[in-house]
Structure 1
């Protein structure tokens, strides 16, 4: 008893554009005999084109198409179409005829799939936005089947909230009330069965007036800013007096604290920051502080050096005198020598003078004279004051 021929084929078969598509078509019983296979193409206008007739590909399509069957068929009747394009997207009919089991056919739709890089636009232009403005982005995708759109900020998916909203198919993103944090790179992604692909990034340039900061290092106060566009002019106000510094650095002077304000200006406006800045007094690392001014310390040092110099000179003078002979000792010695000479001269005169008495010449020594002479001999005259003439002579010799 013959078994009815049955064809199995999917209603829809999708393949990426420019790939090789295999339209599957199976039949049973797989052992059917006398099998012939045919494929036809039906476009949107219902025009029919024969692709395969009685298991042979029509000459016109042999360069792109072939049957996926073996010599004995074995239930396979698939059609391979190489390098499919969008023009190949239409209905295809698979027909199977068996001499033993009759004829059967099935219809499938070839879907050509693609997903091209989406494009992103901004309204208004992204380079003319300021804090508080609103902006709407649109993601233009070219995909089949329709892709799912997602939005990204600096490559991170945006979570929708009161400020970030999108339409039903997510093709637009609206941002309400831009902030400085929205100065970022925005993009959209398109995802379908073919692939996920992202648009180019678009930079949102949020312009805002400067936010200023004061930083003190040592006795230098630096003015820094966050601003877009950049600050083109810096000013300081120190205790009410305006001071302009080209390099945005003010150096503290004196020892008093000051009220200092830094101003920065760009084309959007002017920002400022204020603080109290005090000079830093750095103590000496080599000597403890004396509390004296530099001039007083210098005067003390000079006075000490002068005193030391005077002492040194005095010591040198004394050393010179000592080397030339002791003053007191040399002088006394010269006086003593003169005294001895005078004594000797007096003694000689007395010895040569004749002795006299009341009764005549006395050839002996007068009584008491010898004793007196002995006392003179025994007396030490070395420390007696020398006679005036000898003294003057000695002083001249010493000089």
Structure 2
């Protein structure tokens, strides 16, 4: 009992030692524009009770804005801000900002109070980062350039932190060399002695931690005389040219003949010999030309009057005639062979009939009593078959 009494008396005269609050922030926090930003503010001991949290901010002009007062977000900021933990803080007193804006980039102060215990104010900086589309300007955007002129272009970035600038020609990165030079911060590009290959679309891009953006394009309008090429396809020679401004006249010269205008830039080889061909192309900057010795791929067939019948029809007629003549000749040979073998002679007669025929023949050969038949020969071949062939008639018949 005495020990308890002593402790009670001591507690009256000696105050209870309570751990003081300690507040910490990250000092500087970076967030991209449009993202959600969470500003860190922590305190210890984490189980401290009865704490009051206050958030304020100030811009470069020291205009103070109260965002959170005694754990309550002020009405004008409720739509965009809230405390990290709204009931049991557990050592956290962060401020969340939805869709952070560029104008939110300020100094933010976190204050935590407990009854009879004031903690020091801690400050953190909200660094809002962005990158907007850059702009490009050039001294060549309002004038026409010619081969050999110099050009300077400027890229105007709009971002934080300051973006890195790079240069593009027809969307391809330009390699920096003696002819393409940039200034110290890469925001200006100088092109010395432009060529016809520099006739292109020029742009610049900017890159930082937020994103990469490319400017609009400006055209480097470089004018030059035509550059001419000859292309051959079969017997057609095409004159191809690159020119700025556009060419208005194309002419072909064959060997030493006078040049002739061409409406479509194509020349057709009609002969059978190789020729020396030259193509002239003209625009307001001058005349370009290209020459070559070209030969026809094939010789066009010459025209022949039609006979009325095709070659196949004539060949058919000739073959038919030959077959017909051959058949007639074979038939004639067969008849001759049959004739010699007696196929057409009359049947052999008996001895009596043969004697009778001789007597009749003898009587017929006697001179007539009137003399009219004297010396007349009825022919020893009477009654036999005689075959005459007219080959001209046969061939004529075949042709008809």
Cα drift, residue 281 of structure 1: 4.9
Confirm whether residue 267 of structure 1 aligns to residue 284 of structure 2.
yes
Of the three residues 134, 137, 144, the one matched with 2:153 is 137
Of the three residues 31, 52, 58, the one matched with 2:68 is 52
Of the three residues 198, 205, 222, the one matched with 1:206 is 222
**Distance (Å, rounded) in 2 between the aligned partners of 1:8 and 1:151:** 44
Deviations 1:173-200 (A, max 9, x none): 1222222332333321112222222222
Query: Which residue of the partner structure matches residue 28 of structure 2?
Result: 12
Query: Which residue of the partner structure matches residue 276 of structure 1?
Result: 293
**Distance (Å, rounded) in 1 between the aligned partners of 2:216 and 2:144:** 19
**Distance (Å, rounded) in 2 between the aligned partners of 1:387 and 1:134:** 133
Confirm whether residue 345 of structure 1 aligns to residue 357 of structure 2.
no
Confirm whether residue 92 of structure 1 aligns to residue 114 of structure 2.
no
**Distance (Å, rounded) in 2 between the aligned partners of 1:61 and 1:243:** 81
Of the three residues 26, 29, 42, the one matched with 2:42 is 26
Structure 1, gaps ≥5 residues long: 285-291, 296-300, 327-338, 351-385, 392-399
Return closer, same or farther for 1:349/1:111 CA change in 2, 3 Å cut-off: closer
Query: Which residue of the partner structure matches residue 35 of structure 1?
Result: 51
Return closer, same or farther for 1:214/1:2 CA change in 2, 3 Å cut-off: same
What secondary structure is seen at the aligned counterpart in 2 of 1:87?
helix
What secondary structure is seen at the aligned counterpart in 2 of 1:345?
coil
Confirm whether residue 171 of structure 1 aligns to residue 190 of structure 2.
no
Name the TM-score, length of structure 2 as normaliser.
0.68
Cα drift, residue 279 of structure 1: 4.1
Of the three residues 243, 247, 254, the one matched with 2:260 is 243
Structure 2, gaps ≥5 residues long: 1-16, 306-310, 337-360, 380-400
**Distance (Å, rounded) in 2 between the aligned partners of 1:41 and 1:28:** 23
Return closer, same or farther for 1:207/1:97 CA change in 2, 3 Å cut-off: same
Of the three residues 65, 68, 73, the one matched with 2:84 is 68
Q: Count residues in correspondence.
A: 321
Return closer, same or farther for 1:74/1:101 CA change in 2, 3 Å cut-off: farther
**Distance (Å, rounded) in 2 between the aligned partners of 1:35 and 1:9:** 17
Extract structure 1 runs of 4+ deviating beyond 6 A. Answer: 292-295, 339-342, 388-391
What secondary structure is seen at the aligned counterpart in 1 of 2:120?
strand
Deviations 1:318-341 (A, max 9, x none): 99xx9xxx9xxxxxxxxxxxx989
**Distance (Å, rounded) in 1 between the aligned partners of 2:195 and 2:363:** 124
Query: Which structure is larger by alpha-carbon Rg, 1 or 2?
Result: 1
When the two chains are superposed, the root-mean-square deviation of aligned CA atoms in Å is: 3.9
**Distance (Å, rounded) in 2 between the aligned partners of 1:246 and 1:123:** 38
How do 1:208-247 residues align onto structure 2 when only pairs under 5 Å count?
208-241=224-257, 242-247=259-264
Query: Which residue of the partner structure matches residue 147 of structure 1?
Result: 163
Cα drift, residue 214 of structure 1: 2.4
**Distance (Å, rounded) in 2 between the aligned partners of 1:225 and 1:216:** 14
Name the TM-score, length of structure 1 as normaliser.
0.68
Query: Which residue of the partner structure matches residue 125 of structure 1?
Result: 141
What secondary structure is seen at the aligned counterpart in 2 of 1:46?
coil
**Distance (Å, rounded) in 1 between the aligned partners of 2:362 and 2:54:** 172
Return closer, same or farther for 1:340/1:238 CA change in 2, 3 Å cut-off: farther
